[in-house]
Amino acid sequence: MPLIPRWRFMTSEAKALVRTMGISIILLVVVLVVFRTLVGLLWPMVLVGFLLWLLLFRR
């Protein structure tokens, strides 16, 4: 069963639009997953950097 049942009746412009939107959505999901992972790793790095800054530049 096709995902888009009327695919063969669609114009080439409509098919191109559907393909473009599909690729954009997939890329957006990948970028959001990577960003979420990096933000999760960022907080410990900020904490360690702050602690090192306090230790090294303490007067």
Residue 13, token pair as written in the block: 């412009």
* Residue 11 lies inside a defined structural domain of this protein: yes
What local confidence, expressed as pLDDT, does residue 52 receive? 94
Tell me if 21 is assigned to some domain. yes
Q: What is the distance between the alpha carbons of residues 58 and 47, in angstroms, rounded to a whole number? A: 16
What predicted TM-score, i.e. pTM, was given to this entire model? 0.62
Domain contains 37: yes
Domain that holds residue 34: 7-56
How many angstroms from the chain centroid is the CA of residue 56? 36
pLDDT confidence tier of residue 59, bands split at 50, 70 and 90: low
pLDDT in tens, 4-58: 778 888 899 999 999 999 999 999 999 999 999 988 888 889 999 999 999 998 7
Question: Burial, 6: exposed, middle or buried (Cβ in 10 Å; 0-12, 13-18, 19+)?
Answer: exposed
Q: Does 1 map to a domain?
A: no
How confident is the model at residue 58, as a pLDDT? 79
Q: Is residue 2 part of a domain?
A: no
- One-letter amino acid at 33 equals V
> Which distant-in-sequence residues (6+ apart) come within 8 Å of 57 by Cβ?
none
